[in-house]
Structure 1
């Protein structure tokens, strides 16, 4: 996993039609990088694709790394009380969570 620099963090504007696409693309890259998943496998994820408890690569240690990397790449803060099983249950849940955090940070 490559180190994230300030140049790698690009805010996502909550008011553009392409914001969802930008979040989706960046979130897929984070998942591939952190979990060591093939890009084609991650590209096939849909909203209902199971994550925690479904991907053997996503264990409790990987969750901590994933959340830290999401914070770094999206320029958001994820508080401990924000983390629950629902937001990590599916790809769609995680994407919605990240979108809400980006909207709140804007």
Structure 2
């Protein structure tokens, strides 16, 4: 649902350029993208909070959230659910 928007945000935050265009729902993120280090995760969370008008608590964050682009999109969809 939010996959394309998150892909754009991820590409911008991590400065992936053309490589970001090749990401899909099953693309591994954490551990697979060298650009996605601990500081980048914080920047990405801030960008997601701002773009989607959500609040992400520390307790919400786990490695499984950032496992794939699809898992990150599912997480955002869950946070946006009424």
**TM-score scaled by structure 1?**
0.72
1:58 matched residue in structure 2: 36
Give the unaligned 5+ runs of structure 1. Answer: 1-19
Equivalent runs, 1:71-90 vs 2, <5 Å: 71-90=49-68
2:48 matched residue in structure 1: 70
2:9 matched residue in structure 1: 30
**How far apart are the structure 2 equivalents of 1:41 and 1:99?**
24
**How far apart are the structure 1 equivalents of 2:8 and 2:24?**
14
Kindly report the root-mean-square deviation, in angstroms, between the aligned alpha carbons of the 2 structures. 1.1
Query: How many residue pairs are counted as aligned between the two chains?
Result: 82
